[in-house]
Amino acid sequence: MANHAVLDNVTHKDLRVITERSARYGDNIACSTVFPIELRQVQAQYPIVLRKNADSGRFEPIALFGLNSQENLFLDEGGWDASYIPLSVERQPFLIGVKPNPGADSELSVHIDMDSPRVSQTEGEPVFLQYGGDSPFLQRITSVLLAIHEGHEQNRGLTDALAGLELLEPFTLDIQLQDGSKHKLAGLYTINEERLRSLEGAAVADLHRAGHLEAVYMILASLPNFKRLIERKNARL
Amino acid sequence: MTEPVKRLIVVGGGSAGWLTAGTLAAEHQAHLPTGIEVILVESPDVKIIGVGEGTWPTMRNTLKKLGIAETDFVRDCDASFKQGSKFCGWVNGQQDDVYYHPFTLPEGYNRLNLAPAWQQQRQHIKFADAVCFQPALCERGLAPKQITTPEYASVANYGYHLDAGKFARLLQKHCTEKLGVKHILDHVTGINSHPDGDIASLATRQHGNIEADLFIDCSGFKSLLLGEHFGIPFVSKKDTLFIDSALAVQVPYPEPDSPIASHTISTAQSAGWIWDIGLPSRRGVGHVFSSAHISPQQAEAQLRAYIRPSLGPQADDLPLRQIAINPGHRQKFWHKNCVAVGMAAGFLEPLEASALVLVELSAAMISEQLPATRGVMDIVARRFNDTFSYRWDRVIDFLKLHYVLSLREDSDFWADNRSDSSIPDSLQELLQLWQYHYPWHSDFSRADEIFSSASYQYVLYGMGFATRPRATAQAENYNQQASQHFQENARRLDKLLTALPNNRQLLNKIKHFGLQKI
């Protein structure tokens, strides 16, 4: 069970957070949600596909790190072997708390999962400065959390637009590895390129104005990364 | 006789009228100048009866064809999922007298008949539980799908419970705004005929004479065109199906998040039965009974006694609505250039929710076989009449089966239902056959049977019917295959019990997030 606490500079004044990347700290994940703001960096490293959120059934883009659950093919003894790590991985073990504020913007606050193995008193990055100010590390985390908060809304706008134009299609990836073993990735969705090519001008302009067109092409541009992901898998056989 | 059939008038604005108008308009492109023209004429005074709050799984395909999003349907019609029916007290009225007729077919139904194998273990497990995972889902209040399941797709087969008044309004909006159906609110004051007896036009109070090539009578019990104008006789089925009265009531939930049953609960009474349908916002409950066997006062007392455990003394104050039922149907349904759909064609009783499915089937057949010219209309009419005479007879057989198999003796209602003279020959024949033979696909002749042999299996073996097995040996590996199917059913159930949300949770999520199209 997660043990979420609102972060404050009295209770947590000596708190440190380990930023090393390792399965020990829960980085052995096969995918994570990604957001429009980071798709350009993400597509340079990982395949981007869409899946349905298990809670809402809505589509969301994800980056794939592995082919099986709890398999992160970018993780080795040296850490996470990629030049960009998605925001929703970077934020760990912090979360954003949203308190609805009638008639005004919601109140946002930084929370932390105190049960996370990253939480320490001795190792890692200090969260607060000596006299209680936010450390550069916490400033970075705060901006990451804000980007994620806005990213959820942006994802919704993006996927509603794509689903509305019937630009998404389900796909199943059948993979045969060098040792002959077969893997199947199901429950994934991608851009229907035929639909995209036949989209009429006004719809394309709408997508462009809403900032979704770039996301569409970033997702398409990420697909060759499947080959690199499979190469990583083969290299570990 | 060679003039093309291009303009259709539907008379009546209930579910039957709008479903038929919508089905025809969608398939024949009424929104385009090159398509047919569909006009729906509705009297501003006529109150919609709004029976038929239960549908079959066929409704999913019907709605999809109309181009209605399932999310909109669920939100706008106060709709919930129906996975079948639960029958309580139909055999002997004891506490444990319960069986299910689920919408999902028995495991492996296209390959193997599991009834003989089940019969060897009938003391240990109910038929529906042995062959189908769905009754267990219903008992646990689980939904038939997940929020990630695309619209109209299912994990377990399902239809709906819905608010019929809201349903007619959604259909009206969709038909007029999206499908090009013209809506005229006016009184029909007369019917003008061609010399050959065909209907030429409807005389209306404010819109003058409205002409058409085909007139579809969805005017309800009134049967304005087929019954009143053409005088096609009504064939009463009261000697077979005794229900002639209904008392209906809307029952609030005790809590806003009270569970919603995802099956129709049908509970036998001394001279009829009580339906119980869970919508998201309320339950629809009603007692249908035979006035020859029980007084309306007694029927009301039984209905209130049924509601009281869930609602307390408030049950005694809820207003009841009385509805007369005249079970039967018109002698034929398509006459000259007029075809009746819905109650204008007939109505039996609410058991097994056969009313809306007959509307869907009628609308689909009219639409698929829509005569190109008046000349071929008589051929289509004859085929339509053959098909629907057969279908009404099969529905009557199947409904009657529920009463015939009962052992109840708490009034003459049940005894009279078992008397041979009230049982159609076709049903008597089937019952004789099934004493030695387990119902199977080939027992019925049509490809699109209304009630399949699976439905007969669920009711027969749910109600304790025993088929005497053949004395000769079964195929050698039959038992082994059957036990594999039983195990497969149990495995599926295990998986679904953890994967499926409860019914209200899912309906709330659909209202909040919607269902995806893919």
Tell me the domains of chain B and their CATH numbers. 7-53+163-235+330-393 (3.50.50.60), 244-324 (3.30.9.10)
Whether A55 and B147 lie within 8 Å, measured CB to CB: yes
* DSSP-assigned letters across all residues of B118-184: HHTTTTTS-HHHHH-SHHHHHHTTB-SS-TTSPTT--SS--EEE--HHHHHHHHHHHHHHTS--EEE
Per-residue confidence (pLDDT) for residue B51, from 0 to 100: 52
How many CA atoms does the CB half-sphere of B431 hold within 13 Å?
19
Q: Is B298 helix (H, G, I), strand (E, B) or coil?
A: helix
Whether A58 and B518 lie within 8 Å, measured CB to CB: no
Contacts of A52 in chain B (CB under 8 A): 147-148, 516
For B513, the closest of A57, A166, A189 (CB atoms) is A57
The pLDDT tens digits for B349-390 are 999 999 999 999 999 999 999 999 999 999 999 999 999 999
Give the length of chain A. 237
CB proximity B512 to A under 8 Å: yes
Average pLDDT over residues B217-224: 95
Contacts of B516 in chain A (CB under 8 A): 52, 57-59, 163
| pTM (predicted TM-score) | 0.91
The pLDDT tens digits for B427-454 are 999 999 999 999 998 888 787 788 999 9
Contact of B83 with B158, CB cutoff 8 Å: yes
**Cα-Cα-Cα-Cα dihedral of B387, B388, B390, B392, to 10°?**
160
Q: Is B192 helix (H, G, I), strand (E, B) or coil?
A: strand
**CA end-to-end distance (rounded Å), chain B:** 46
Which whole-number Å values give the CA distances from A62 to A53, A88, A94, B333, in the listed order? 10, 10, 20, 56
User: Could you tell me the strand order of the sheet in which B334-335 lies?
Assistant: B182-185, B37-42, B7-11, B214-217, B338-340, B334-335
Q: Does the structure show a pLDDT above 60 at B481? A: yes
CA distance to partner chain A, nearest, from residue B255 (Å): 24
Kindly provide the b/e burial profile for residues B178-205, where b requires at least 16 CB atoms within 10 angstroms of the residue's own CB.
Answer: ebbbbbbebbbeebeeeeeebbbbbebe
Percent of chain A beyond pLDDT 70?
A: 100
Complex ipTM value: 0.83
Structure-token match 């089925």, residue found: B237
For A59, the closest of B147, B515, B516 (CB atoms) is B516
Q: Is B62 helix (H, G, I), strand (E, B) or coil?
A: helix
- Nearest residue in B to A169, CA atom: B518
Q: Is A64 helix (H, G, I), strand (E, B) or coil?
A: strand
* DSSP-assigned letters across all residues of B361-427: HHHHHHHHT--SBHHHHHHHHHHHHHHHHHHHHHHHHHHHHHHHT----SSHHHHHHHSGGGS-HHH
Chain A residues whose C-beta is within 8 A of a chain B C-beta are 52-59, 163, 166, 168-170, 189
- Nearest residue in B to A57, CA atom: B148
Q: Give the tokens for residue B341.
A: 């759909």
Is the alpha carbon torsion for A184, A187, A188, A191 positive or negative?
positive
For B147, the closest of A57, A166, A168 (CB atoms) is A57
Whether A57 and B146 lie within 8 Å, measured CB to CB: yes
Whether B516 and A52 lie within 8 Å, measured CB to CB: yes
For B516, the closest of A54, A55, A163 (CB atoms) is A163
Average pLDDT over residues B18-42: 95
**CA gap B250, B285 in Å, rounded:** 6
**CA gap A106, A176 in Å, rounded:** 49
Q: Rounded to 5 degrees, what are φ and ψ at A63?
A: -100, 140
Q: What is the DSSP letter of A72?
A: -
Kindly report the three-state secondary structure assignment for every residue of B220-284: HHHCHHHHHHCCCCEEECCCCCCCCEEEEEEECCCCCCCCCCCCEEEEEECCEEEEEEECCCCEE
Report the Cα A55 to chain-centroid distance in Å.
17
Q: Kindly report the average pLDDT of chain B as a whole number.
A: 95
Give the length of chain B. 518
Whether A52 and B514 lie within 8 Å, measured CB to CB: no
**CA gap A203, A161 in Å, rounded:** 10
| Confidence at A67, pLDDT banded by 50, 70, 90 | very high
Per-residue confidence (pLDDT) for residue B366, from 0 to 100: 97
The pLDDT tens digits for A183-230 are 899 999 999 999 999 999 999 999 999 999 999 999 999 999 999 999
Kindly provide the b/e burial profile for residues B354-389, where b requires at least 16 CB atoms within 10 angstroms of the residue's own CB.
Answer: bbbbbbbbbbbbbbebbbeebeebeebbeebbebbb
| Confidence at A107, pLDDT banded by 50, 70, 90 | confident
- Nearest residue in A to B507, CA atom: A56
Per-residue confidence (pLDDT) for residue A1, from 0 to 100: 53
**CA gap B356, B60 in Å, rounded:** 12
Per-residue confidence (pLDDT) for residue B280, from 0 to 100: 95
Whether B509 and A189 lie within 8 Å, measured CB to CB: no
Per-residue confidence (pLDDT) for residue B168, from 0 to 100: 93
Q: Does the structure show a pLDDT above 70 at B49? A: no
